[in-house]
Amino acid sequence: MNKIENNTQLNGTSFHGGIIKTTPNDLIKLAESIGAEYNSDNTGEDKTNFDFRFMTDDGIPFSVYDWKEYRPLSLSETIEFHIGSFSNSDSTTVVESLRKVLNKE
């Protein structure tokens, strides 16, 4: 897993059905371990509380975000995070990669 060098690499990504069940803490730790940027506004007032930006080792850019929880999230709470990618196949690849990295297999 790598960090995104330029946020424009994510322009045009969207949800293609890819979901991973994990905690905000797991994603924060991953982001911080590779120096990846993420947004955190854990107030529950917007459609997302967390938005992470990554790239797979194969160069697939993607985002990971909670969707419409509308409440502050506990950092240790397991929830469904959506994957933003360019295609169904990218989304599938990303989910598999994240499961391995996060030990969620």
CATH number, position 82: 3.30.310
CA distances from 57 to 9, 14, 31, 54, 101 (A): 15, 20, 14, 10, 11
Contact between 62 and 9 under an 8 Å Cβ cutoff? The reply is no
- How many structural domains is the chain composed of? 1
User: Which pLDDT value is given to residue 5?
Assistant: 87
Domain, as residue range, for 45 = 2-101
Tokens of 82: 């959506």
Cα angle, residue 45 at apex, residues 48 and 15 outer, rounded to 5°? 20
The reported pTM is 0.94
For the beta carbon of residue 63, count every other beta carbon within 10 angstroms.
23
pLDDT digits (tens, 9 = 90+) for 34-78: 999 899 999 999 999 999 999 999 999 999 999 999 999 999 999
Distance in angstroms (rounded) separating the CA atoms of residues 44 and 5? 28
pLDDT range class, residue 105, cuts 50, 70, 90 = low
Task: Find the DSSP H helices in the chain.
Answer: 24-34, 88-101
How far is the first Cα of the chain from the last one, in angstroms, to the nearest whole number? 16
